[in-house]
Chain A
Amino acid sequence: MKLNSLTIIAAALAAGLTSAVAGNITGKVTLKGTPPAEKEITQLKDDANCGKMHTEPVKTRFYVVGAGGELADTVVMLKGISGKSTGASATPLIVDQKGCEYSPYVGAVQTGQSIVIKNSDPVLHNVHTQPTVAGNEELNKAQMAGGADLTFNFGKAENFLKFKCDVHPWMFSYVTVCDHPYFAVTGKDGTFTIKDVPAGEYTIVALHRKAAAAGMEQKVTVTAEGAKADFTLEVK
């Protein structure tokens, strides 16, 4: 009887340890090929209010690429996972409007996770969400200079959900909504880390608005030591 109890305890601990085994997926996204030159946003320069907030020309941010091809603003996430969102308790994503630009340009959240839009500019903006997936609500809210933050959240997974300002029609931010917490956005060095992924085999996908709008996939096996997944995207 004593033996049986120990066996059960040992089995339970083993099971608990197995499910608790998790690792980080790390990797780097590189761009192959020469992207088109970014364009100066002349509308911003010509705007009476926004133009004076910048001393340097403001350019588009389609390809933010490092000297070695490191590609920023790529969303990397696990595919085929749903219903695992912990968005309700996750830290909100902060998106700021500063210098008549959205920052960050590309972000990612979970379903139900708050997206807080701030206005650090001395001019009014309107925050206009433009989802394309049914169930995510399109909203258009005014935000005066110094106005209170606006909070949004979405219940359905969607890639690159667009936030725009109609008052300043060059201002955009794209937020990808996932139904799980296993995603990351590459930084300027092209690297990413998806934390605490339970051990197992997965399909991982890299999404970039221009270089991989439909996504580039690969298989990855996560162990307690983690896993590595690099992507090389090509200029279309």
Chain B
Amino acid sequence: MSNPAQKIWLHRFAVLTALATLGLVGMGGLVTSHGVGMAVPDWPTSYGYNMFALPISTWFTGGVFHEHTHRLWASWVGVLVVALTRWLGGSKSRLPLIVTGLAEIIAGLLLLRLGADWKGAGHFLSGIGSVVLLAGILWVKHEPATRPLPALGWWAFALVQLQGLLGGLRVVLDAQVVASVRLGTALGIFHGCLGQIFLVLLCVIALLTSRWWQVGVQALACSADTLKRELQPSAPLRRLMLATTILIFLQLIIAATMRHQHAGLAIPDFPLAYGKLWPDASTEAVARYNAQRLEIGGENPITSFQIILQMAHRGMAVLILVGVAACAWKAKSSSNARPHPGPLPRERENGSSVLARFTMFWLALVFVQIGLGAWTIWSNKAADVATAHVLVGALSLVTGALASIICFARFTGNTETRVADFSNATPLREVSI
């Protein structure tokens, strides 16, 4: 892809898709926070209507608003991701898209013939297939983006479809139990966690399509090996960054498990837990807690497991705070050790100075997140506060993932050709660290 204007628009489109996905995560958070995941009992139809033809009066009724808006928003994100896949893959993506689209349409039509139980899945598949087919047929030709962006586009393409399917199955299989596990709960947790991974992937695409990344990082690729080694963040910082990001993801899995139990607050106070540093989680104590709870939303009774899970969530938060603070401190120290030689255009900045700013932002996010966590408890899990907690958690994961990618950028390989694509590409000695 040699046209600079096209690159800029590709990046802007990737940012738009990532922002739309962040909004979708927030909308999904609102659905769970309000406890209205089953407010529309059917899927992919809504109250028997085609999803896009639901009367506005029904759409704007109670929890239907959150659930149906989440579905429509997800459809919009799906279209954006198909377009992004096509754009990243260039003309080479046309044939795979056409084949995939046709296969999905045929599979959808076959499902429709299987009977009423498969009607929803049939419409879903054939609908997606039509969008994919149109993207393959109608989109204008252009060159593919540099590696690994086309592959990342295909991953996003696969994930968005899987997410849509999981979201739907979470509704239609809600009451099914397999091996003592309620599918609605299991699929809800998986849907929530995969949504976070999907958001990270789109943010990575946005980062890799940015001018800052392509000019700065790839210019470094042309440098001498000795200087590259010197410019790379230290190995302990890289490892710490990755480990902390993984901790955040584990924390999000714990959080998703807590939220999808639909049991409200397992521990109603903070910073103590039932007035103690470690709460009594015996059967008698849990029975007493349940008797004392006044759950307006008719939440399910809490269990010992949920109490321990919330304590693990609190403990993990402390670990994450320590990890992110250590990253910020190390990145700042590293940046101070390599003074900035002078003002340069932003896109030519690289390495530790950017990392230092990134990690400071990360630390600020974690502080906000801990504050929101406390507020979620003090507000008795008010839906808007709990959803803000979900959103900032997602941003913390994204920040950690992007910082890790910057950290682990090896700056190796022959990228001179790609660097030459950029009229503003500079040799390494002009790049500030």
Contact = CB atoms under 8 A, between A and B. Distances in A.
Contacts, number: 78
A81 interface: no
B63 A169 contact: yes
Interface stretch (B36-44, B142-150, B332-340, B392-400): B36-44
B287 A126 contact: no
Contacts of A94: none
Contacts of B41: 126, 128, 140-142, 166
A39 B290 CA distance: 16
B292 A236 contact: yes
Contacts of A210: 291
A140 B38 contact: yes
Contacts of A49: 61-62
A5 B60 CA distance: 78
Contacts of A225: none
Q: Tell me if A's interface is mostly helix, strand, loop or mixed.
A: loop
Nearest to A211: B291
Contacts of B296: 39, 41, 43, 60, 170
Interface residues of A, number: 35
A138 B175 contact: yes
Contacts of A126: 38-39, 41
B99 to A, nearest CB: 37
A17 interface: no
A168 B297 CA distance: 9
Most buried by A among B58, B62, B296: B62
Contacts of B288: 236
Interface string A115-129: 000000001101010
A134 B298 CA distance: 21
Given A39-B294, A47-B62, A170-B297, 4 more contacts: A36-B294, A124-B58, A167-B61, A213-B287
28 contacts: A36-B292, A36-B294, A41-B296, A47-B62, A124-B64, A138-B174, A138-B175, A140-B174, A140-B175, A142-B42, A166-B35, A166-B37, A166-B38, A166-B41, A167-B61, A167-B63, A168-B62, A169-B34, A169-B35, A169-B36, A169-B63, A170-B298, A210-B291, A211-B291, A213-B287, A213-B291, A214-B287, A236-B288
Interface of B: 34-39, 41-42, 47-48, 58, 60-64, 174-175, 287-288, 290-292, 294, 296-298
